[in-house]
Structure 1
Amino acid sequence: MKSFFKYVLANIVAFVILVAIFIGGFVFFAIMGAFMDSSGSVKKNSILTLDLKTKVIESPSDEQFSIFDFKQEGKTITSLDLQKSIINAKTDNNIKGISLELDDFSAGNTQLESIRQALIDFKKSGKFVYAYGNNVSQAAYYIGSVADQFYLNPTGGIELKGLSAEVAFFKDFADKYGINIQVIRHGKFKAAVEPFMLNKISPENEEQLSTLLNDVWSRNSSQIAQSRKINPAEFKTITDSLYSFIPENNIKYKLADKLIQKSEYDNILRQKIGIKKEDKLSKISFPKYFGTIDPDSEDDKVAVLYASGEINSGKGTNGIYSETLIKEIKKVKEDKKVKAVVLRVNSPGGSANASDEILFELEQLKKEKPLVVSFGDYAASGGYYIAMAADKIYSEPNTITGSIGVFGLMTYYKDIANKNGIRSDVVQTNSNSNMYSALQGPTSGTLNMMQKSVEGTYKRFVHFVTTNRKKSFEQIDAIGGGRVWSGTRAKELGLVDELGGINQAIADAAKRAKLSKYSLKTYPAKSNPFEEMFGSMDEEEISAKMLKSKLGESNYKIFQQLTDTKLQNGVMMRMPYILEVK
């Protein structure tokens, strides 16, 4: 027995030592990796390279670290930092040009346009921009089309097909299985709840999506055609006919310049920078290059406050949580070195209550410091609502914005329960004591109260918009009602002030604060990898990751729509369903 306990104890000690070694080693390599990623110098004759290993994110908080994919750490970069890198490379003598090796590279519509414009500006330096691809996504080609030369693999193709948005409907499914869904909304364009009340797209929703997609594609396609010197009518024929999926067609129709292998492309780069074929190419990634740029050290700061993701109440990191964001707003307000603020909004909206809390705190911030808002891919519904504290609003042309509308949703299971022999009786003290139950659904009094709540919230929404945009209730109501618009159309309607990216918003904020020299400070700050890893390993996230891996991204999004409990957390200011522009 004594030897047995010695054996068990020895194994426990060995296990503890192994765990300690693992954690210690992990910490060591993570720290070393952080140092390696954020320091160093650029070799002479280097080529700044954007490839599939680089993940472009909207804000520092969008970087989700996990022990299962820690190899991705250090390979992400925010869109703003990527643009800074391109600007810096323009005058960096060690950077001879930029190579775009993108294939299925993807980013948000507004991120893509900002990167594209930065590359066009980079070319003014006289340095080259070359691109190479195997199977090139439409998003990647949108960026790559600015290249001086675009090379394609002999068996490769370009995914040039235009834009689409697919809407999934669940009404028939709910009816079939006895699931009852009660919808309360204001605005005929409030399409967020259509999937639960219709079995096909409404004329109003089809109209708004068609207008939105055509606004975005008209801009994107004309930019590509102009860069490649293709007649717009011919470019439309190429797209409609899917010609670009056949390698030889890309040469025939001037979408690419030559069909070559990757090693041949590398030799072209060697020749371009004047080194021998046997010499090693010095390529540097954007995240690593950004780490070599000396940070601004001016005492006066312009804060870039990120509001990225769906809006929820409480605390959290994966999205916009009212308490968490308000804490950051107060930090910005109390920081004496921060003289002006840019709020970068990239949100489809969410909880009406949380949106209102955030707006109030932003209004308090504006009383002390200039506040300029910059829209990313989305600034819709609650995302648009929180922007109403702004001194000025900048929108990207392809931003999806507006969606000034409110809705509520209640799901219950009376029919399916009754069919399977389950029913309930209610004993109550007042008419609506049992306001809502999973077996009975909402009472008539509850529905009446919810409708009034939705209407009251909508009026409050429009009130803030009329105050900020200096328009009447009737003017805003006419373009509100839950309808979404492109940034270009929002500018025409007066929902935003200027078309431009985050850099224009930063310059405007600095000007309002009368700053000639300043540095940027981002809020929230980038999380420590270990805080991310251990802070996010909760049951919900682990389940989500497992489901995503089994279902795939597209199927998981449909599953989310069917099971999203946040939809039933009271009155919502949220964009139409999950609008994915393909």
Structure 2
Amino acid sequence: MIFASAINGEQKPSIKKNSVLVLNFKNPILDSYTEAESSIFDLGDTKNVLLTDVLNAIQKAKTDENIKGISIEVDELQAGTTQADNIRDAIEDFKKSGKFVYAYGNNMSQKSYYLATIADKVFLNPVGMIELKGMSTEVTFFKDFADKYGVGIDIIRHGKFKAAVEPFMRNEISPENKEQLSTLLNDIWGNISNKIKTARKLDENSFKTAVDSLYGYIPEQAIKSKLADQLVQKSEYYNFIKKNLKIDTDKDFNQISIGKYINTLDNKNNDNNEIAVLYASGEIFNGDEYSNIHSDKYVKYIKDLADDDNVKAVVLRVNSPGGSGNASDEILFELQQLKKKKPLIVSFGDYAASGGYYISMAADKIYSEPNTLTGSIGVFGMITNFKELANRNGIRSDIVSTNANSQFYSPISGAAPGTIPMLTKSVESTYKRFVYFVTQNRKKSFEQIDAIGGGRVWSGTRAKELGLVDELGSIQQAINFAASKAKLKDFNVQNYPAKMSKFEEFFKNTQEEEIAAKVISKKIGKENYTIFEKVTNPKFNNGVQMSLPYKITIK
């Protein structure tokens, strides 16, 4: 079994004897190319790195006689928590070969340090630091802002834990939301901190003191607290590696970056036996755009895979906080049709919540990472109007209509009298439909799912305990199970959707809306732009939504 290489059409670099594989991730690690952020102003040939390629490269290096060890040299790991877990697990497996793994850091982020602790030794720059501080999440609220400037927001939701709309309803985190966020953070931090403690051979009290006291920020204290092993300059670190390789310190040693090593992977194909990995990454919308998860595009992808006789099984890799209820339902239906023809296994990434969880209900089996954010079984509707703001500035409107609710909604006049009652019924109906599909897939009663639903978000670990997923495991385990269910021993794994060509990418990014979005996002910041979109983008105000609370960003 091999993965299709992420980089095609380039001359493969040679691997010299006695080489060290350097993990120096300079670009974000992606589940799918649909997550890539590109710009028409970027004329460089940026190489995005796929997680599957990274894992396959580390697996190959384990048995590659030219690779003698791994050097982890990354201060800021641009990857999700579950991706960091997968890479860390791959390195742990690599160590079974007996080859060395060392790590060096200047100013290491918490995620980078988490990855680095799998190394045999952790080296830190004498004036460097380790960001080890625990986890938090921050929620920004806009109720007072909306009231001050005359922005009206009508909200309908089902589930006391459905916090996606809280930023527009309140000025502080609700007790229910605080409860779920606290449970979620403690679950994820518990998984991560236990691995760090085990790797660094630290007891609970010593580790908690080091974290609470921010000892990692002071190099000498980091050594004293056993968070790192030695304070050295980079050249001294390289001398340590040379000594291990039995090379004189006045000579260079052979290094190959993870990016170049990925380019050496064989791209063999067994066309008759293919496991297709369909990546559902991003928010869920109606439409046929390439980025995120647009229902028209994904319906076509799914039908093509269902009709392709060479595809023997499909793994759906979900990394989504949800989105449109209608679009989610379209995708779920097509996945159910596909499942009638061939095995469908689901693997969860960082997020598989609300609509992301909903589309997974066609699965024969669901694998979740321990640190996945999942569940959020709930729905809501939100309508924004600017009536008061317009009136304050001398703008008014009048309506002529044929029926009671002909003017269903207007940004100036707001919602018609029957709009909110109708949306309330729609939200309740959609919630019941959501729970129904969960009961069918998870083989539980409506009451059982409703008790753990209501929009509540769970960690993958907790979801397994509650029966919302089948197994805790990686995408590789999901692929292996798919192969066994399809009775395949020799097979090829192919990723979908395919990477967009430079030509297609250029014309996609020259669309007026794309340019405007990129400029605004650049000006106000990515997180603020996400909130801005929730209020202004029709996609987020089009019907009932199955969406994760705001978006939970864990720091």
TM-score calculated relative to the size of structure 1: 0.92
Q: Give 1:222's match in structure 2, choosing from 194, 212, 230.
A: 194
- Residues 1:258 and 2:230 are matched in the alignment: yes
Given that 1:54 and 1:285 are in contact with CA atoms closer than 8 Å, whether structure 2 keeps it comes out as no
Other structure's SS at 1:199 match: coil
Other structure's SS at 2:495 match: strand
Matches within 5 A, 1:470-481: 470-481=443-454
The equivalent residue for 2:253 is 281
Alpha-carbon distance, 1:363 to partner:
0.6
Counterpart-to-counterpart distance in 2, 1:66 and 1:421: 39
Counterpart-to-counterpart distance in 2, 1:78 and 1:471: 36
Given that 2:40 and 2:510 are in contact with CA atoms closer than 8 Å, whether structure 1 keeps it comes out as no
Matches within 5 A, 1:441-456: 441-456=414-429
Q: Give 2:209's match in structure 1, choosing from 218, 237, 247.
A: 237
- Residues 1:84 and 2:42 are matched in the alignment: no
Aligned AA (2:453): G
More helix by share: 1
Aligned AA (2:197): A
- Residues 1:463 and 2:436 are matched in the alignment: yes
Deviations 1:416-470 (A, max 9, x none): 2223333322222111111111222112211111111111111110110000000
State which drifts further: 291-300 or 179-188: 291-300
Count of paired positions: 549
The equivalent residue for 1:167 is 139
RMSD: 1.6
The equivalent residue for 1:189 is 161
Counterpart-to-counterpart distance in 1, 2:517 and 2:399: 36
Counterpart-to-counterpart distance in 2, 1:69 and 1:282: 32
Q: Give 1:381's match in structure 2, choosing from 350, 354, 359.
A: 354
Q: Give 2:384's match in structure 1, choosing from 408, 411, 417.
A: 411
Counterpart-to-counterpart distance in 2, 1:334 and 1:445: 44
The equivalent residue for 1:73 is 46
Alpha-carbon distance, 1:36 to partner:
7.5
Q: Give 1:199's match in structure 2, choosing from 171, 177, 185.
A: 171
Counterpart-to-counterpart distance in 1, 2:148 and 2:159: 28
Given that 1:384 and 1:401 are in contact with CA atoms closer than 8 Å, whether structure 2 keeps it comes out as yes
Q: Which has the larger radius of gyration?
A: 1
The equivalent residue for 1:307 is 280
Deviations 1:192-236 (A, max 9, x none): 011111111100010000000000001101110110011122111
Other structure's SS at 1:68 match: coil
The equivalent residue for 1:27 is none
Deviations 1:524-567 (A, max 9, x none): 11222332233322222222332333333444444444434322
Counterpart-to-counterpart distance in 1, 2:351 and 2:531: 20
Q: Relative to structure 1, is the Cα distance of residues 438 and 200 closer, same or farther in structure 2, using a 3 angstrom cutoff?
A: same
TM-score calculated relative to the size of structure 2: 0.96
- Residues 1:149 and 2:121 are matched in the alignment: yes
Counterpart-to-counterpart distance in 2, 1:424 and 1:533: 41
The equivalent residue for 2:3 is none
Counterpart-to-counterpart distance in 2, 1:424 and 1:285: 62
Counterpart-to-counterpart distance in 2, 1:399 and 1:119: 20
Given that 1:52 and 1:103 are in contact with CA atoms closer than 8 Å, whether structure 2 keeps it comes out as no
Counterpart-to-counterpart distance in 2, 1:560 and 1:158: 35
Q: Percent identity?
A: 60
Given that 1:37 and 1:288 are in contact with CA atoms closer than 8 Å, whether structure 2 keeps it comes out as no
Given that 1:180 and 1:413 are in contact with CA atoms closer than 8 Å, whether structure 2 keeps it comes out as yes
Given that 1:408 and 1:567 are in contact with CA atoms closer than 8 Å, whether structure 2 keeps it comes out as no
Counterpart-to-counterpart distance in 1, 2:22 and 2:323: 37
Alpha-carbon distance, 1:49 to partner:
1.0
Q: Give 1:401's match in structure 2, choosing from 374, 384, 388.
A: 374
Aligned AA (2:423): M
List alignment gaps of at least 5 residues for structure 2.
1-5
Alpha-carbon distance, 1:274 to partner:
2.1
The equivalent residue for 1:17 is none
Counterpart-to-counterpart distance in 1, 2:524 and 2:236: 39
List alignment gaps of at least 5 residues for structure 1.
1-32
Q: Give 1:427's match in structure 2, choosing from 400, 403, 424.
A: 400
- Residues 1:341 and 2:305 are matched in the alignment: no
Counterpart-to-counterpart distance in 1, 2:540 and 2:33: 27
Counterpart-to-counterpart distance in 2, 1:579 and 1:386: 20
Aligned AA (1:360): F
Given that 1:37 and 1:287 are in contact with CA atoms closer than 8 Å, whether structure 2 keeps it comes out as no
Counterpart-to-counterpart distance in 2, 1:407 and 1:383: 15
The equivalent residue for 1:538 is 511
The equivalent residue for 1:20 is none
Matches within 5 A, 1:362-377: 362-377=335-350
Aligned AA (1:176): K
